[in-house]
Amino acid sequence: MGLYLNPPENALVLSVDEKSQMQALERTQPMLPLALGYLEGITHDYKRHGTTTLFAALDVLHGTVLAECKPRHRHQEFLAFLRSIDASVPTRLDIHVIIDNYSAHKHPRVEGLVGPPTALAHPFHPDLQFVA
């Protein structure tokens, strides 16, 4: 918790994770507006639009979230999300990414990006070790 609330100087600490297999649903009818004595009305049926994966990076210190939805859940999509984080954060800041042990996070291409050669540095796998 200390790394989140007291990050190193000129650094941004992000907790990164994903939620896969989210169903993209749409109601078949518009919601009925509130009326005096009645709650907002919602239909019980919906139309399916497949599934999506939500990738998110939480900056605990400032309470902001960077997020993207991708159609699949592989290391390629995770790499694209990390690159978009890198592009959106000012170059003066080092990015410390805290990730879990999911197999896409341990792929050699991901570990190559998250290592010292780029601004993304110091990944932390909770059940492994701190990699500097």
What is the rounded CA–CA span in Å between residue 28 and residue 43? 7
- Residue 26 tokens, joined: 């749409």
| Residues constituting the chain | 132
**In this predicted model, what pLDDT tens digit does every residue of 3-55 receive, in sequence order?**
767 778 888 888 888 888 888 888 888 888 887 887 778 888 888 888 889 99
* pTM of the complete model: 0.70
Angle formed at CA 56 by CA 80 and CA 125, multiple of 5 degrees: 85
Among all chains, which residue has been given the structure tokens 């978009």? 84
Q: What pLDDT does 114 receive? A: 66
- Residue 91 tokens, joined: 């170059």
Computed on alpha carbons and rounded to an integer, the radius of gyration of the chain in Å comes to 19
